[in-house]
Amino acid sequence: MSLPEAHVTEPRRSASARSRAETRRRLIQAGTALFARGGLHGVTSTQIARRAGVATGTFYLHFRDKQELFHAIVFEALADLRARQERAGAPHASGSLAELRARTEELLAFAEDNRDLIRVLFGRGGESATVGEEVLDEIVPGIERALERRRAEGVAPEDVHPAVAAQALAALLVRVIAWWIDHPEQATRQEVVATILRMHPSQLGRTGRPGSPAG
């Protein structure tokens, strides 16, 4: 429903809105890059603003404080990650090894596309602090329910406790990815994928090599 007055003011609004959104985007980008190096406490709001090309005060026009920028960085990236995971898994049968492999590979691709972000959250010297935990809290329940389903289907072993395994898997993925991003020479992408799939709780019952194309 477009009101006449909305029609009149829209060009102006959308113009300033575009500018506002652009400034916000730059602050997020600057924050990601700087947090990756210095962590939440190692970076000042003034540094972030300067890198974004705006004045210090502008920072607070867009975020209540540093913590909120941190939060925004993380959860906007998480939404992106989820969308990409969804797309990656879509072509495959739900719960299949093929789907799992596709999602794992997509996860590595995402990490490569967002190195700074990964470092912010889980990397060296990073102080993911509360936010890192919030991310795990966002991720873990989904994993846990999936594992419960797999176990009910008899695919996953009975003695793998879903809640425990969910914590384990989340931490495992996060750490392996953060490590590999910084040490890509230590293992090929295939090796990383294969090892993750091997250790994946839903695959523990399998005897064959999940890494094989026929898996």
User: Six-digit token pair at 207?
Assistant: 């005897």
CA–CA separation, 72 and 87 (whole Å): 23
- Between residues 85 and 195, which has the closer beta carbon with respect to a second copy? 195
Q: Which amino acid type is present at position 114?
A: N
Q: Which does 5 bind (CB under 5 to 8 A by kind): a second copy, DNA, none?
A: a second copy
What values do phi and psi take at 44, rounded to 5?
A: -100, 155
Q: Which does 54 bind (CB under 5 to 8 A by kind): DNA, a second copy, none?
A: DNA
Q: Which does 186 bind (CB under 5 to 8 A by kind): a second copy, DNA, none?
A: a second copy
Q: Which does 167 bind (CB under 5 to 8 A by kind): DNA, a second copy, none?
A: a second copy
CB of 116 to DNA, least distance (A): 18
Interface with DNA, residue 179, by CB under 7 A? no
C-alpha Rg value of the chain to the nearest Å: 21
Helices (H) and strands (E) in the chain, counts: 9, 0
CB atoms inside a 10 Å sphere around CB 192: 20
- Interacting residue with DNA among 6, 8, 10, 18 (CB under 7 A): 18
Contact (CB, 8 A) for 202 and 143: no
- Between residues 97 and 176, which has the closer beta carbon with respect to a second copy? 176
Of the candidates 189, 165, 167, 194, which has an alpha carbon nearest to the alpha carbon of residue 97? 194
- Interacting residue with DNA among 8, 10, 25, 65 (CB under 7 A): 65
- By CB under 8 A, name the binding residues for a second copy: 5, 14, 39, 41, 124-130, 133, 157, 159-161, 163-165, 167-172, 174-176, 179-180, 186-187, 191-192, 194-196, 198-199, 201, 204, 207, 209, 211
Q: Which does 155 bind (CB under 5 to 8 A by kind): a second copy, DNA, none?
A: none
What values do phi and psi take at 49, rounded to 5?
A: -60, -45
Of the candidates 180, 24, 36, which has an alpha carbon nearest to the alpha carbon of residue 117? 36
Point out which residues bind DNA (CB under 7 A): 12-13, 15-20, 22-23, 41, 43-46, 54-62, 64-66
